[in-house]
Amino acid sequence: MSMNDVDSTDRTEPESTDDDDDAVDTEAQLERTAARAELLAEENDRLRNEYARARQSRYRRTAIGLGAIGLLGLLAGAVFPSSREVLFALGATGLFGGLLTYYLTPGQFVAASVGERVYAAWAANGAAITSELGLREEQVYLPDPGQETARLYIPLHAAFEPPQDRHGPVVLEEGEQGLVLLPTGATLFEEFRHALAGDLAPSARPLATQLCDGLVEQFELADRADPDVDAADGRVTVAISDSAFGAVDRFDHPIGSFVAVGLAVGLDRTVRLEVEPGDERADWLVTCRFEVDDADASATENTPTG
């Protein structure tokens, strides 16, 4: 063997050793990365399961509450024969809603057609009860103090005072007669608040934008929801296109109910809901009206528009 061969061998051995060390380091790094990814996957699964259990627990409590209201309505119907038909209808609605809430948990996929049929039953019952009691075809959403939600109030008279007792369902106090119900938008708004990045906007214009984003992006209740806000006049109109739950002018429709509940809670104002057919630009116009005080008007005037 020549000296050149020996030198060549000596020079290649360190290079080979360096390559082996690099391969070992790379393999070790890959193993650490794989282990870390596995731990993260396990942690994500654990967090998802805990979140699902927490949501399921909330829905179970809601179902129990609705079932209790249903049973109370049925018992009251047995005790008060003169109002039996209405109370039985309220009781049946409560039990039906409780069963749906119990079994249709958030982790399950429910087709829009199924949801629309479920809502259609609620809308038909609500309209029938309203007609039977001679109430006005007017939907008023009242903020529920301390609860971060709102109630649906169906008044008996055109001139009314918002009821002080907002637990309902039947209000008999003079000047406040009517029904106070849990609206469909209340539970939607609760989910919206949980998913909202940041705080709920305190004024009408940005709040309306947040709610419209929730309708389209989070709940997919409509393909489009475009807000038009006149804060000085106390009006928010949302142009709705392609409602997932059919005609929006029915009793306590989820779209109008969600917007009205959100405005009632966010602005801490009584909100009157009006729905009418749209034009070539939209299918429906959902209008919410609320009172504006001097402070609101002043803030609106001083808000930059550009």
Chain centre to alpha carbon of residue 194: 9
- Whole-angstrom CA distances from 138 to 12, 27, 155, 268 are 90, 70, 7, 19
Position 8 scores a pLDDT of: 47
- Percentage of the residues of the chain whose pLDDT score is greater than 90: 44
* Helix %, strand %, coil % of the chain (to 5): 55, 15, 25
Position 268 scores a pLDDT of: 94
Q: Which amino acid is at 158?
A: A
Whether the per-residue pLDDT at 39 is higher than 70: the answer is yes
77-91, 102-116, 271-285, 289-303 — most confident range:
271-285
Query: Which residues, in sequence order, are bridge partners of residue 226?
Result: 239
Count of C-beta atoms within a 10 Å radius of residue 102: 16
d(CA 244, CA 246): 6
Position 305 scores a pLDDT of: 41
d(CA 305, CA 296): 16
Whether the per-residue pLDDT at 218 is higher than 60: the answer is yes
Give pLDDT tens digits for 112-167.
677 888 899 999 999 999 999 899 999 999 998 878 899 999 999 999 988 988 87
Position 205 scores a pLDDT of: 95
Q: Which residues of 166-198 are buried (b: 16+ CB within 10 A; e: fewer)?
A: bebbebeeeebbbbbbbbbbbbbbebbbeeeee
- Read off the pLDDT of each residue in 293-297 and give the average, rounded to a whole number: 61
d(CA 125, CA 249): 15
Position 90 scores a pLDDT of: 80
Count of C-beta atoms within a 10 Å radius of residue 221: 22
pLDDT band at 297 (very low <50, low <70, confident <90, very high): low
Find the angle CA(95)-CA(96)-CA(99) to the nearest 5 degrees: 85
- The domains of the chain, with CATH numbers, are 135-306 (3.30.1380)
Whether the per-residue pLDDT at 288 is higher than 70: the answer is yes
Give the global pTM. 0.64
Q: Are 272 and 138 in contact (CB under 8 A)?
A: yes
- Whole-angstrom CA distances from 117 to 6, 18, 124 are 87, 70, 11
51-55, 200-204, 293-297 — most confident range:
200-204
The better pLDDT of the pair 88, 169 is held by: 169
Identify the residue whose tokens are 């998802």.
Answer: 48
The better pLDDT of the pair 304, 253 is held by: 253
DSSP state at residue 189: H
Q: What is the pLDDT of the chain when averaged over all its residues? A: 82
Give pLDDT tens digits for 258-271.
999 999 999 999 99
Whether the per-residue pLDDT at 195 is higher than 60: the answer is yes
